[in-house]
Structure 1
Amino acid sequence: MQIDARDLFNPKPVVMALTALSELKDGETLALLVNDGKAVESLVRLADEQKCKFIREDEGDYTVVTLVPSHRIKTNHPVEKAVSYMDFGSADAPILVFGSEAIGRGDKSLGHILMREIIFDLAHQEVVPKALVFINSGVKLTIKGSAVIEDLQILEKLGAEILSDTVSLDRYGATDELLVGEPIDPYNLARILTGQPGVVSL
């Protein structure tokens, strides 16, 4: 079986891999086309835990990852499992939680300006956050119409995970408007925030 997971970011390719592995027949292999390095790293962890043979072939601007399972694999919660394979990088790098599209209290227009400046600065400094998590109206920063999409894309390419809460996206009718990063459900969001040191709320 072959799956084209190019232009999809971690953990989405891993979720697709886990789902596909559970559908393979005896003797079948799974090949994934991936161009997100973080996803490839997670697939390595998947292969190690699930005792799959791992074959990597670089094809220029993307990688073909082939998984050869040694037994039938069944995953009841592929999203939760995929999140467990994610690497949030250096212990010194923080996880930043954005609960609004503006920062601070008081003048809201000033809050929007400051938020744009802060995200721009985050994208152009040496220390890259482990993850940027967007909840409540903060998800408006990751959807169509946001003024910071380009800077968030830079952060993602530098290795930061960009995660938007699914309940918040649904509340603002923006589930299909996400332009950067991946959606994440509250259960796995809570797991990340409680399992990692250095969480900073903005």
Structure 2
Amino acid sequence: MKEIDARGLACPAPVLMAKTAIENEKAQYLKIIVDNKASKENVSIFLESKKFDVSVQEKDGDFYITGKGKGVESLPDAQEKKTETSSKKILIMIPTDRMGYGDDELGIKLMLSFIKTLKEMGPDLWRLVFVNNGVKLCITGSPALDDIKELHKKGVSILVCGTCLTHFNLLEKKETGETTNMLDIVTSMQVADQVVNI
């Protein structure tokens, strides 16, 4: 087994390390250790794109991702994992707390309605990325907060730009999602099946 310890590294580094092991070393049995959820998801998606069966275990805050390629005995959880990830992965970029231009009050109502209706996308909705003014939707007092938390509970990944939170002095007020950086956002866009910009 090829073991890669990528703890302390932000994406896309863990994905690139796995890519190197597969393409240059022809590794067919990998264990990659990461310490954040964004890397866990991105590495898992990358391995699946290479037709690896993937299993993930969490221990003491670290994630142990095991991947087995073709010709290697199947993982116990492989079939279950494939079922979980068989849907399309749609990423939605949300750069503002309102939708459209013209009337701010209407724009706020439209955005709240949009977020409330996102659940209708079902398992295809993979990740929401909040940047710029959009991070205000994820803080204490946001009228959209309960709906975003509900999506998160149902398995939708929520990334909230740390630079943006810091800029608006809202870092301590974030109530949901993972504080992230531009590397994670760009990597997410690379592995998503579809990116929707609001």
2:35 is paired with a residue of what secondary structure? Answer: helix
Q: Which residue number corresponds to residue 106 of structure 2? A: 110
1:156 is paired with a residue of what secondary structure? Answer: helix
CA–CA separation in structure 1 for the residues paired with 2:89 and 2:149: 18
Work out which of the residue numbers 174, 180, 185 in structure 2 matches 1:178. 174
Which structure 2 residue ranges, 5 or more long, are not aligned? 1-33, 38-54, 68-83
TM-aligned CA deviation for residue 122 of structure 1: 1.2
TM-score, normalisation: structure 2: 0.58
Q: Which residue number corresponds to residue 47 of structure 1? A: 64
Which structure 1 residue ranges, 5 or more long, are not aligned? 1-13, 18-39, 51-87
1:103 is paired with a residue of what secondary structure? Answer: coil
Q: Which residue number corresponds to residue 133 of structure 2? A: 137
Task: Name the CA shift for 1:147/1:127 in 2 (closer, same or farther; >3 Å).
Answer: same
Q: Which residue number corresponds to residue 15 of structure 1? A: 35
TM-aligned CA deviation for residue 47 of structure 1: 2.6
TM-score, normalisation: structure 1: 0.57
Cα offsets for 1:26-71 (capped at 9, x unmatched):
xxxxxxxxxxxxxx94638943459xxxxxxxxxxxxxxxxxxxxx
Contact 2:87 2:124 in 1 (8 A): no
Query: What is the Cα-based RMSD across aligned positions, in Å?
Result: 2.8
Percent of paired sites with the same residue: 25
1:133 is paired with a residue of what secondary structure? Answer: strand
Work out which of the residue numbers 154, 157, 164 in structure 2 matches 1:161. 157
TM-aligned CA deviation for residue 16 of structure 1: 7.1
- Matched letter for residue 58 of structure 2: L
1:130 is paired with a residue of what secondary structure? Answer: strand
Count matched residues. Answer: 130
1:110 is paired with a residue of what secondary structure? Answer: helix
